[in-house]
Chain A
Amino acid sequence: MSYGGPVPPDYGDPHAPGERAEEYLAPEIAGEASALPLWRRKPLLVVGAVILGIYIVVAVLGPLFVGDPRVTDPANFYQGPSWDNLFGTDKFGRDVFARAVHAARLDITIGILIAFFAMVIGSAIGVVSGYFGGWVDEIVMRLTDVVLAFPGFVLALVLVAAIGNSIPNVVIAVTVAYIPYFIRLTRAQVLAERELEYVDGAKLAGNGPWRVAFRHVLPNSLGPSFVQAALVAGWAILTVAGLAFLGVGIRPPTAEWGVMVAEGAPDIITGQWWTALFPGGMIVAAAMAFQFIGDDLGADVL
């Protein structure tokens, strides 16, 4: 489509979202050739992804193949692990494996939801705070200071205690506790990003400040937040289960890992280790999968 003059060189669209993602990723992930296969370069990432994949399959399909998590069988209480009851049975004769599988759906969903909400809200606030600065930034920063002055677990705990025990309330409370991390992270990235030339270019091209902030600066500032989100998903699972262990948020008889550990904890000192240690192990392995992924990605990004 030449008009007779020289054709301008095609530089691509420098502001397009994700265009510069490869700068945040290690060269090998960005697709540059490397002699070693992925599992040699990033063993933790691969192990984490495999474990997480198994969890997702179990969460999606598992409940179809195991029994009802609520059904009791008083004649079969405290049976040790066997082929019929892989994880044994609890004091009511409920199948611990069936409960743990059903719980996987709940816990994994909650963990990912919390990380997602915290990242979306946190980075939106972070980009406004960092890009526009001024008194908004000042207020946001002082607020995050105060929120971060609480251990996150305690903040989530008192929030749920105040607004009441329910699954949505737990998601809200834990999300609130993790939002400040994403605000800080995004803001720091935005502060560096807004000085770059493409931002001036976007402004000169006539984009309004909000458009520049959200369409141009934000997508380029999200790299570290994705890594943080992987870590937060793991911590969120630990936090939710920890709260449930204390009787906060998700309550019995819901099949949830933390609830199951709380119900099984007294059995430990009478020797029925399976009622608490199996669901607890599921929590730790799930959190570990997210940590592995976050840690191996983060080695290059954070």
Chain B
Amino acid sequence: MGPADLALALKEYVMSASTERTSSESVGSRAPISTRTGVSLVAGRGVRRALLAAVLPLAIIVIWQLAGTNGALFGGALPTPDRVWAAWKVWALGPAGLGLNPYSGTWLANLLFSAERVAKGFVAAILVGVPIGTIIGWNRLAAGTLDPTIQLLRPIPITAWLPFSIAVFGIQDVGAIFLISLGAFYPIVVNTAQGARDVERNLIRAALMMGASRWTVLRRVVLPASLPAIFTGLRIGLGIGWTAVIVAEMVAVKSGLGYVLWDAYYVGRMDVVIADMVTIGVLGLLSDLIIVKIESWVLTWRRLQSFQS
């Protein structure tokens, strides 16, 4: 318990980050033209980069810890890292049930509530956003019909939709999922449309020349050619999804990390608040890593292309 534990956890994080990088490089071994020496160089650089990345967070934690007296800063408003760590341990590993500490043992359950909502909303946003974006980018009539409305709605922040969502869906999961999918929808649809618009004209001509129908061109040329842009949209959309889930849970549902965040703040448990914030950050980072992993797997051709140029 305390700074030593934190240092250990960070070290583990750094180690895992470096192995992560090495294994993602080895995907390139599918290519006959792979620079073996390059891979080991990159791996070495990966460790250094991870160490470098850890310097600032470590420094902040150490200074934060040392700046506190009796486990708190700013006249008790902010707990020190060791207190946050202790609060997290009880929150995550403590016995669940109606004890003195209502948060005890509820970390994983709340984490899963939030993650599930983000996943559902995100998938809904993909299922709607990718086809609509492709159509907008591909067909001028569809673009003229759909795009202006989307551009009109897009500046309305997710937070502004909260009363609407509660009024329509009530204090329920659906409302949170609606907000998440709406927030993630915009970047996905805009980037997909951009990708579909920018498909090299000769690729479409080549497909038509080989007897492809317009539908086949859409599915087998426009969609794969737009994938790099789509993934950009997915990453931005997922980030917005996490913002939306926290906002929604603070107001519109009674579970999840956002609910705990606001609840803990109300009862003055700033140690839980900060542990919650860190949890959200780590989850956001991990989910982004998953997308990046899928992207590098799906877009091997793209990665090799940028290697060459």
Q: Are A and B genuine complex partners?
A: no
Q: Which residues of A contact B (CB under 8 A)?
A: none
